[in-house]
Amino acid sequence: MKRTFVLILIAVAALVLFGVLVHAVLVAAHLSEPTATTVYGATPRRVWATVAVVLGLVGAVIGALVLRRSAGRIGTGNGGMGAIVALVAGLIAALNGALNLAIAKGGPGSGNGVIGGAMALVLGLIAMGLGGLALARSRRSSLEGR
């Protein structure tokens, strides 16, 4: 019971931190103010931002799984390939998110995928961090095994 409560509390704290980071990216890009007219539906830039968010999320999940696997004794591999996949997916997501924010001409609701671009940038950086940690850990463990 106590462990479940702690895990829920950690998940809520992570979501709040993620929201704060996305807001900070929007403020830094000077795109935090909503537009006067709201565009509904899928636009090409919203689809682009959504694909980048999904890629960043996949990279973060792979990075977390590889990092967790390298910490324990699950699996037989050293996790180097998974770490590289997380790094590359995070880099692509972060670059696409930053590019989306750079060419956006309006704030949230303008149809430019501004919030998706900010989310992709944050998730891409998280994926790159997790992938880098996992890669460093897998390199260290492969050197110790010699």
Range of the structural domain that residue 132 is part of: 43-137
Q: For residue 17, is it within any domain?
A: no
Residue with tokens 């940690």: 133
Q: Considering the entire predicted model, what is its pTM? A: 0.81
Q: For residue 145, is it within any domain?
A: no
Q: For residue 26, is it within any domain?
A: no
Domains in the chain, number: 1
Tens digits of residue pLDDT in 8-20: 888 889 889 988 8
Q: For residue 34, is it within any domain?
A: no
Tens digits of residue pLDDT in 56-102: 999 999 999 988 876 655 455 667 888 999 999 999 999 999 999 89
Q: For residue 8, is it within any domain?
A: no
Report DSSP state, residue 100: H
Task: Kindly indicate the confidence band of residue 29, based on its pLDDT and cuts at 50, 70 and 90.
Answer: confident
Tens digits of residue pLDDT in 100-140: 989 988 788 888 888 999 999 999 999 999 999 988 887 77
Whole-angstrom distance, CA of residue 8 vs CA of residue 73: 25
Q: For residue 47, is it within any domain?
A: yes
The amino acid at residue 109 is G
